[in-house]
């Protein structure tokens, strides 16, 4: 029997060209694995294409619910955002994909896993360190880093396939490089490679519309949370994946969650991309609004440190490691009382507060009101201010005495 290789298969031109290349270069039997994390129509026709291109078989694994509940929600509950803008859409998916690739490798008695991530990107890091964490004995082939891989463009790949009797419905003309899942869609390439150029919004956007073309009338939305997890939208109970789908629909309609950023990749270079995360942006904001009502000041402040560290780790692909697990355990402990309802309205790219309620709210109208009440004596602030600023006062006094 030939050795078997598991190919992370998206159905795109790159991974389709890899199938005959693996057979020709290494004499492998190729088993394709496509992990369904919410690509929707992108999965159409994959089995026929993979078999036509020479694969022994194709697995399509629906892991959307696991993706939403076990990979996206830990980041949402933490409030993790990479470099103040990126909501980690691709980053959440990669460790789950690696996990499923390893599972199929064991099932098929494969010795090797292959991916088509480039040598300049983040995904090669994310895939490979998670495979190492779960199956250190498996070999990994990264095609774009192999000396035998000589194709450097879409045109090269199309010609290679044609030379091997594979005629594919791909066009060599320019198109964006995209990655889509339940949480987001990313766009790179074309005019985006020049930070001086404005994106071609009419040609670019997939999940929604630009705020300028969004409806002129605002739309109210309510969300219910239990222990930090969304359980209902506009009074209708639903699982997390369906919450995200519904928020994607609402957010896309109103131009929510479009981000144009230059980010720092793991491998050291800067890259420019546009991300559409309409539902994720709404969910993150609603969760934040609820937390500010419930969590105390010290917990909120420390949780922000955790969120930033966790965002870096998720971006770098460090999912299956003890620190990520420990940080998420801390976050889960902060979510025990994060239950309640958030109301807001969507209008031309904006999420506008319209009321938040929770039985665990720490907000006290008796304390916060300008009206004097029994719980707080204004005179108590005098002693607090004296002690709170004592070190600054002492320093100023000593400076004056010493002529500084």
What percent of the chain is modeled with pLDDT above 70?
98
Of 380, 326, 357, 391, whose CA–CA distance to 78 is shortest? 326
Q: Could you read off the pLDDT of 268-322 as tens digits, one per residue?
A: 999 999 999 999 999 999 999 999 999 999 999 999 999 999 999 999 999 999 9
Q: Could you read off the pLDDT of 93-110 as tens digits, one per residue?
A: 999 999 999 999 999 999
Give the E-state strand segments of 266-316 in sequence order: 270-276
3-state secondary structure of 297: helix
> Nearest 5°: phi and psi at 203?
-90, -25
Q: Which comes out higher in pLDDT, residue 376 or 255?
A: 255
Give the CATH number of domain 4-177: 3.40.50.620
Which pLDDT score, from 0 to 100, does residue 369 have? 67
Q: Report the C-alpha gap between 38 and 71 in whole angstroms.
A: 13
pLDDT at residue 394 greater than cutoff 70:
yes
Indicate if the alpha-carbon torsion angle 158, 33, 124, 40 is positive or negative: positive
pLDDT at residue 80 greater than cutoff 80:
yes
Give the pLDDT band of residue 225 (cuts 50, 70, 90).
very high
Q: Report the C-alpha gap between 392 and 399 in whole angstroms.
A: 11
Q: Which comes out higher in pLDDT, residue 92 or 177?
A: 92
pLDDT at residue 212 greater than cutoff 70:
yes
pLDDT at residue 36 greater than cutoff 80:
yes
Give Cα 79 to chain centroid, integer Å: 12
What is the architecture, at CATH level 2, of domain 184-295+338-357? Alpha-Beta Complex (3.90)
CB contact set of 167 (below 8 Å; sequence gap of 6+): 161
Q: Report the C-alpha gap between 114 and 8 in whole angstroms.
A: 6
CA 372 vs CA 250, 364, 383, 384: distances in Å:
43, 13, 18, 18
Task: For residues 244-250, give the mean pLDDT.
Answer: 98
4, 49, 94, 272: the active-site residue: 94
The answer to whether 126 is a known catalytic residue is: no
Q: Could you read off the pLDDT of 353-386 as tens digits, one per residue?
A: 999 999 999 998 777 766 656 677 788 889 999 9
Give the pLDDT band of residue 184 (cuts 50, 70, 90).
very high
177, 242, 249, 312: the active-site residue: 177
CB 287 within 8 A of CB 79: yes
What percent of the chain is modeled with pLDDT above 90?
89
Q: Could you read off the pLDDT of 146-176 as tens digits, one per residue?
A: 999 999 988 999 999 999 999 888 776 657 8
Q: Report the C-alpha gap between 237 and 25 in whole angstroms.
A: 52
Consecutive H or E run containing 340: strand 340-347
Q: Report the C-alpha gap between 44 and 46 in whole angstroms.
A: 6
| Poorest-pLDDT segment among 21-35, 203-217, 233-247, 371-385 | 371-385
The answer to whether 171 is a known catalytic residue is: no
3-state secondary structure of 371: coil
- Three-state SS string across 113-170, please? EEECCCCCCCHHHHHHHHHHHHCCCCEEEEHHHCCCCCCCCHHHHHHHHHHCCCCCCC
Return the structure tokens found at 182: 């339940």
Give the E-state strand segments of 239-328 in sequence order: 258-264, 270-276
Of 180, 241, 182, whose CA–CA distance to 38 is shortest? 182
> Nearest 5°: phi and psi at 353?
-55, 140
Q: Report the C-alpha gap between 86 and 271 in whole angstroms.
A: 12
Give the pLDDT band of residue 128 (cuts 50, 70, 90).
very high
Which pLDDT score, from 0 to 100, does residue 380 have? 85
Task: For residues 34-49, give the mean pLDDT.
Answer: 92
Of 353, 66, 340, 306, whose CA–CA distance to 227 is shortest? 340
Q: Could you read off the pLDDT of 323-350 as tens digits, one per residue?
A: 999 999 999 999 999 999 999 999 999 9
3-state secondary structure of 264: strand
14, 53, 126, 339: the active-site residue: 14
Return the structure tokens found at 2: 């030939």
Task: For residues 53-77, give the mean pLDDT.
Answer: 97
CA 11 vs CA 19, 44, 50, 141, 375: distances in Å:
11, 9, 7, 18, 64
DSSP 193-246: GSTTSPP-HHHH-SSS--GGGS-SS-EEEEEEEETTEEEEETTEE--HHHHHHH
Of 6, 99, 80, 10, whose CA–CA distance to 46 is shortest? 10
Which pLDDT score, from 0 to 100, does residue 175 have? 78
Of 207, 235, 162, whose CA–CA distance to 42 is shortest? 207
10, 36, 123, 180: the active-site residue: 123
Of 82, 397, 89, whose CA–CA distance to 263 is shortest? 82
Domain boundaries, the chain: 4-177, 184-295+338-357, 372-401
Q: Which comes out higher in pLDDT, residue 7 or 177?
A: 7
CB 275 within 8 A of CB 184: yes
The answer to whether 123 is a known catalytic residue is: yes
CA 91 vs CA 63, 113, 196, 197: distances in Å:
15, 19, 26, 26
3-state secondary structure of 289: helix
The answer to whether 44 is a known catalytic residue is: no
Return the structure tokens found at 123: 């995904």
Which pLDDT score, from 0 to 100, does residue 373 have? 63
């Amino acid at each position: 029997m030939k050795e078997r290789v598991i190919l992370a298969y998206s159905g795109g031109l790159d991974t389709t060209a890899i199938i005959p290349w693996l057979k020709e270069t290494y004499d492998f039997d190729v088993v394709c694995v496509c992990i369904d994390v919410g690509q929707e129509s992108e999965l159409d026709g994959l089995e026929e294409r993979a078999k036509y291109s020479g694969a022994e078989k194709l697995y399509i694994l629906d892991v959307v619910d696991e993706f939403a509940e076990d990979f996206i929600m830990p980041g949402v509950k933490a409030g993790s955002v990479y470099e103040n803008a990126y909501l980690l859409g691709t980053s959440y998916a990669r460790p789950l994909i690696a996990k499923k690739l390893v599972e199929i490798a064991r099932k098929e008695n494969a010795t090797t896993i292959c991916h088509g991530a480039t040598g300049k990107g983040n995904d090669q890091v994310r895939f490979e360190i998670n495979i190492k964490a779960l199956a250190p004995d498996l070999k990994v082939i990264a095609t774009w880093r192999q000396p035998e891989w000589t194709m450097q463009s879409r045109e090269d790949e199309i010609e290679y396939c044609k030379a091997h009797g594979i005629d594919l419905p791909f066009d060599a003309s320019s198109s964006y490089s995209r990655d889509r899942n339940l949480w987001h869609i990313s766009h790179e390439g074309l005019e985006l490679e020049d930070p001086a150029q404005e994106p071609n919004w009419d040609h670019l956007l997939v999940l929604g519309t630009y705020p300028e073309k969004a409806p002129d009338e605002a739309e109210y939305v309510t969300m219910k949370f239990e222990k930090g997890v969304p359980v209902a939208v506009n009074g209708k109970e639903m699982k997390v994946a369906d919450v995200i789908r519904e928020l994607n629909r609402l957010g896309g309609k109103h131009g929510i969650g479009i981000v144009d950023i230059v980010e720092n990749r793991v491998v050291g270079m800067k890259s420019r991309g546009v991300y559409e995360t309409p539902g994720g942006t709404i969910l993150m904001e609603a969760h934040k609004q609820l937390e500010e009502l419930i969590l105390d000041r010290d917990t909120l402040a420390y949780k922000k440190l955790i969120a930033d560290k966790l965002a870096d780790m998720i971006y770098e692909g460090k999912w299956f490691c003890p620190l990520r697990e420990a940080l998420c355990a801390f976050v889960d402990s902060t979510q025990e009382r994060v239950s309640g309802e958030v109301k807001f309205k969507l209008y031309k790219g904006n999420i506008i507060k319209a009321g938040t309620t929770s039985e665990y709210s720490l907000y006290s109208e008796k304390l916060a009101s300008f009206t004097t009440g029994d719980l707080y004596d204004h005179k108590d602030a005098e002693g607090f201010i004296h002690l709170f600023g004592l070190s600054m006062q002492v320093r100023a006094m000593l400076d004056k005495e010493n002529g500084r």
